[in-house]
Structure 1
Amino acid sequence: LIAGYDVGHNTEAFQTRFHIQPAHLKTGVYRRITGNEALAIGLITAAQKAGKPLFYGSYPITPASDILHNLANQKQFDVRTFQAEDEIAAMGSTIGAAFGGALAATGTSGPGVALKSEAINLALVLELPMIIVNVQRGGPSTGLPTKTEQSDLLQAMFGRNGESPIPILAPATPGDCFYMAIEASRMAVRAMTPVFI
């Protein structure tokens, strides 16, 4: 390690050096939270405000699995989670929960949205309120499952058969994820439609 540092220093391989000063934060309580954690808390909050149980049916897929894991630990808030055998079954269970009157949600990523597209059309035609979380990641298909970007937005907009418009909310920060989960729930129930986040 020292030899590598010495080579870089002696050959002046790195001409530009940056010195980052420590951040000066106001006194207070801070919490590190991811978008998936904030979204899970937002879904719970929306269900509590609506006076409905929260159902979350999902098939584990990176990077959306954390939502399922977070919600599975929140039974005290009338949260019901279902780990399905595949993406299509997860969407089917979410449709069933919406029929049953729960605040229904499902989550996935790019390839999972492709598998759920027919069932999403069914939910749209049946006017079932539900939240579909598309946790975005880079590249087509599997792509870069541990890195995220905006590439799945067009799939959320146009990835279904025929004309099936669905509202889409695109959060930019973990704070947005919390508030947009609540807003998506409100929109879904008010307009009787699936809503993408």
Structure 2
Amino acid sequence: MLVKWIRCTVVDPHGFERGQRKWAGLLGEPGFRSQGGGWSKARPHVAHVFSFWESRAFYDSFMARSHDRLASGQSGTYKDFQATLFDHRFDVKTGFEPRFTDVDVVRVAHCRVRADRVEHYALMQEKVWNPAMAGSPGMVRGLFGEASGNEFLVMSMWRSEAEHGKYRRERVERLLLRAQTEADVAALTGDVVRLEASWTV
């Protein structure tokens, strides 16, 4: 499965929201699984959108045919656009499904990992972080994705902001030490995204 993560700064919220609803046109596209997104909790006017495709070939075909027509509805409503493609490497918890209807919050961690530490980083994700997240009340599902250039995405979906906040307070510092994350990671950015139901396709 291919994951596309888009983030941008919205300059015209009403126009952006209106355009976002036009992405319902993705339904019926060959290989399309789902799309959802919302607003950054920490940074006003920053929007995140996540879309899921069965494979790179289906995604490339969509980009060549239908993308520009759907995207034109949001032209001029945002700036600082960034999009990254990740290959799904493994699930956080089990049986990842790209669904947004039963969760309120998505947490994303975007890591650039030192080349000589990639295997260690992936192993720690599997052996330390995954069990901790999977065992946390309110964590519904998640995935670990890989892009070129030693870039990784850890995406976790939570039933509520309060449950994610509790996990952060209780666990994260201890887990960072145990997984030796500082030694692995050259750069780490993250965000908590409050989902907008009307953006889900």
TM-score by length of 1: 0.28
**Bigger relative contact order, structure 1 or 2, given CA contacts below 8 A and separation 6+?**
2
Q: When you count strand as a share of all residues, which structure comes out higher? A: 2
| Superposition TM-score, scaled by structure 2 size | 0.27
Higher helix share: 1
Query: Based on CA coordinates, which of the two structures has the bigger radius of gyration?
Result: 1
